[in-house]
Amino acid sequence: MEAAEVEEDEEFAAEEAEEWMKAFPVTEGATSLQKSQPLRKGKKKGKSGGFESLGLSPPIFRGIRRTGYQVPTPIQRKTLPLVMAGYDVVAMARTGSGKTAAFLIPMLERLKMHLSKGGARAIILSPTRELALQTFKFCNQLGRYTDLRVAVLVGGDNMESQFEDLANNPDVIVATPGRLMHHLSEVEGMSLRSVEYVVFDEADRLFEMGFAEQLRQILSHLAETRQTLLFSATMPRLLADFAKAGLRDPHIVRLDVDTKISPDLKLAFFTLRHDEKPAALIYMVREHIKSDQQTLIFVSTKHHVEFLQELMRREGLELSVVYGAMDQTARKIHLAKFRARKTMLLLVTDVAARGIDIPLLDNVVNYDFPSKPKLFVHRVGRAARAGRVGSAFSFVTSDELPYLLDLHLFLSKPVHPALTEEDLAGNSKELLKRMKEVTEGGSTVYGRLPQSILDSTSEKLRSLVEGNMELLALQKSCNKAFDLYSRSKPSPSLESARRAKSLPKEGLHPLFREEIANEEAAALAFTESLKKFRPKQTVLESEGEAARSKNLQTPNASGVEVMKRKRAIHEKVIDAKQNQQPQRMGLDVLYDNAKEKLELPEEGGAGLGTNRHKRRRKDQSSTKKIPKTFRDDNFYISSVPVNRHAETGLAVDNADRMGSNRIDREVLDLLPDEQENIQKQKALYHWDKKHKKFVKLHHGETVTASGKDAFSHGVAAMV
């Protein structure tokens, strides 16, 4: 044995060091310091919080160090003590956090050595063949100094060779659910009653890929005294129900850092129309994303993947794609090309992105804005890791603005519209400087893309699509799938939907402000003024004036006079009403009032109705002041915490209701990326006892004694 493989004694407790020296004596190549160092019994010299504090056996500990682990990762630090104590654990951590070692290390420590009789003692279930092979390889690396036998059962391999592996009496079986069920049905007398340790790796993907029934059948073959572990990145509702039924009093472990966005991640939100998204994506890829940066693009369905792949290929942009129903071989090829940096763009859906580990990702693009704040965090959390700087670009349509407000309530960050060209007229330098200070202070600014660039790119793409039958068919199926996807996704909170309607008009995003010339900025300002132009004459007056200019007889002359008198009376009322609204005259008014505009009322939404009725009762005179509130900030105690949205995290699936447990609060359902699966998810029927018939339940609805009860996500359930 080489001397470099011998660890220094000062990292261990005295008792562990003695066992180490007995099992692995120091060779002649060791230094005299290692030989002569005295061992003091009862005195701990190890580093606190490391693997040595877990009391692992020397072979397991040596395998950990040989693999390269020095200290546990956060998910390992939280789960290892619980798993080694024998508890059932549900652990949620994103890909690349070290959760594979979090269940392999306790498993190896529990099994310790090979038993010639008794059958398999541990099973690890993985959703895909690639992940199972990766786990199999890593298990062999960690257990290289033990005599434990590991077998891998995955689809696509020869059944006869797998029969031979099972005949060797393996201690650990790493398998996919389908192939394991195949062996259980083919091999007579194959029993799993000896299994005492079961792991569901990437459990959310196991259920998303339709293995729920097979997993329940596998559990029926296991002993009830088993220890069950679920490791996942999200918590779908089906997985939460499975965890309640298949686990005994599980401990829930989730890192708080998973629900936060890295401070090194730059967020940018662009408002646009839905049909402008392809042009905006191509423009961003060509002009704003560097060619040496890897970018992950999230779309809603696999039809978007197919359409954008063909469209961008014809535009000369090479990219890799991954979606749920993709062939495993093709999936592996596309991911390998992206990891090898042969392609710099990866187009994925939410379902397919589970389990993809790309540690050095630079940018994330949300082609379709996510309907849940947690899903947004999971998407953009793949960038700006390990101290790297990253960017997240999101396209937001007018229908998706309420989701944008929900997201910033969840993140506890203010959001402001970009200044319009009319606001910047005459004092642009000072206002742009102030806006930069606001964004650097942690606020988010959303704005438009340059319309002239979008128009030219959209026209080019429109002619390209119309001249190609394949692209035309892909675009048609893409639009149909998006309509179904829009009807299936959860609704935003009622308060955010109400506030989105009153948001001021946004201007050009600061990211593009430097790209347009002064002449183009002046043209944009003129265009905006034309959009806001409203003639003072009514329709009847305009028709009367036109008739007079043509010397025509106007029988409605009396009506024209009536409208003039009416306008003269009501003009003062309209002006008074407009003067009561905050004007967009500068950043002081715009940004200082933004927090007050977007801040939710303290009484759980009751303030919205009160303010609305107050506005109705207002005197139409502009000189009447708005009465001040009766509340004294020094003594008033609200019934709702100020940070309620940050604490609840806009919990999904009615987690705020009474009787919900912690598993319910961690649920995060992902919408399927195929039209057929979306319809399956929507087609949930429940027997209505009152009307004696089956009723269809849509996403987020439950059945009560009085009938269907629809609960929206987030604060909508509180209104």
DSSP3 helix / strand / coil % (the chain, rounded to 5) = 50, 15, 40
Q: Mean per-residue pLDDT for 179-206?
A: 87
Q: Mean per-residue pLDDT for 562-567?
A: 74
- In 10 A of CB 412, how many CB atoms? 12
For residue 287, the 8-state DSSP code is I
Whether residue 586 is predicted with pLDDT greater than 90 in this model: the reply is no
DSSP string, 392-417: EEEEE-GGGHHHHHHHHHHHT--EEE
Q: Minimal CA–CA distance to 92: which of 255, 212, 247?
A: 255
60 domain-assigned: no
Asked if 334 and 307 count as a contact pair (C-beta separation under 8 A), the reply is no
Q: How far apart are CA 87 and CA 73, in angstroms?
A: 20
Assess whether 196 and 266 both reside in one domain. Answer: no
Greatest mean pLDDT among 35-39, 78-82, 436-440, 618-622 lies in: 78-82
Asked if 267 and 364 count as a contact pair (C-beta separation under 8 A), the reply is no
The CA radius of gyration of the chain, in Å to the nearest whole number, is: 32
Q: Which two tokens stand for residue 130?
A: 């690639």
Assign 285 a pLDDT band (cuts: 50, 70, 90): very high
Q: Which strands, in side-by-side order, build the sheet including 345-349?
A: 320-322, 345-349, 295-299, 363-366, 390-396, 265-271, 444-448, 415-417
Assess whether 249 and 265 both reside in one domain. Answer: no
Residue 235: CATH number of its domain? 3.40.50.300
Assess whether 284 and 429 both reside in one domain. Answer: yes
For residue 503, the 8-state DSSP code is P
The pLDDT value recorded for residue 355 is: 55
Assess whether 397 and 456 both reside in one domain. Answer: yes
Point out the least confidently predicted range of 39-43, 423-427, 578-582: 39-43
Q: How far apart are CA 497 and CA 249, in angstroms?
A: 39
Assess whether 208 and 283 both reside in one domain. Answer: no
Assess whether 230 and 352 both reside in one domain. Answer: no
Q: Which residue has the tokens 């967009």?
A: 584
Assess whether 366 and 464 both reside in one domain. Answer: yes
Assess whether 481 and 626 both reside in one domain. Answer: no
Beta strand segments in 248-344, E: 251-254, 265-271, 295-299, 320-322
Asked if 313 and 321 count as a contact pair (C-beta separation under 8 A), the reply is no
347 domain-assigned: yes
Q: How far apart are CA 11 and CA 62, in angstroms?
A: 12
Assess whether 112 and 248 both reside in one domain. Answer: yes
Q: Which two tokens stand for residue 392?
A: 């997240």
Q: Which residue has the tokens 């686990």?
A: 247
Assess whether 192 and 279 both reside in one domain. Answer: no
Distance of CA 33 to the CA centre of its chain: 52
Whether residue 253 is predicted with pLDDT greater than 80 in this model: the reply is yes
590 domain-assigned: no
Whether residue 198 is predicted with pLDDT greater than 90 in this model: the reply is yes
Assign 106 a pLDDT band (cuts: 50, 70, 90): very high
Amino acid at 636: Y
β-pair partners for 271: 396, 448
Mean of all residue pLDDT scores within the chain: 74
- What is the count of structural domains for the chain? 4
Boundary of a domain, candidates 213, 239, 258: 258
596 vs 404, residue with greater confidence: 404
Boundary of a domain, candidates 258, 282, 303: 258
Q: How far apart are CA 112 and CA 110, in angstroms?
A: 6
β-pair partners for 122: 172, 197
Q: How far apart are CA 400 and CA 497, in angstroms?
A: 9
How distant, in Å, are the alpha carbons of 392, 502, 649, 654 from that of 402?
19, 11, 16, 19
Asked if 450 and 515 count as a contact pair (C-beta separation under 8 A), the reply is yes
Q: How far apart are CA 696 and CA 454, in angstroms?
A: 42
Boundary of a domain, candidates 258, 284, 300: 258
528 domain-assigned: no
372 vs 516, residue with greater confidence: 372
Q: How far apart are CA 139 and CA 320, in angstroms?
A: 30
Q: Model confidence over 287-344: pLDDT tens digits?
A: 889 989 999 999 988 899 999 999 999 999 999 998 877 877 888 899 889 988 999 9
- In 10 A of CB 557, how many CB atoms? 12
Q: How far apart are CA 298 and CA 62, in angstroms?
A: 41
Assess whether 547 and 670 both reside in one domain. Answer: no
404 domain-assigned: yes
Question: Helix 518-532 vs helix 451-466: angle between axes, to the nearest 10 degrees?
Answer: 80
Q: Minimal CA–CA distance to 586: which of 433, 405, 447, 449?
A: 433
Assign 107 a pLDDT band (cuts: 50, 70, 90): very high
Assess whether 275 and 379 both reside in one domain. Answer: yes
The pLDDT value recorded for residue 70 is: 82
Q: How far apart are CA 315 and CA 286, in angstroms?
A: 11
406 domain-assigned: yes
Whether residue 223 is predicted with pLDDT greater than 60 in this model: the reply is yes
Assign 228 a pLDDT band (cuts: 50, 70, 90): very high
pTM of the model: 0.60
143 domain-assigned: yes
Q: Which residues of 647-662 are buried (b: 16+ CB within 10 A; e: fewer)?
A: ebbbbbbbbbeeeeee
Distance of CA 499 to the CA centre of its chain: 23
The pLDDT value recorded for residue 127 is: 86
Q: How far apart are CA 296 and CA 274, in angstroms?
A: 20
35 domain-assigned: no
648 vs 235, residue with greater confidence: 235
Torsion of CA 197, 201, 204, 206, to 10 degrees: -90
Domain coverage including residue 561 = 538-583+605-637
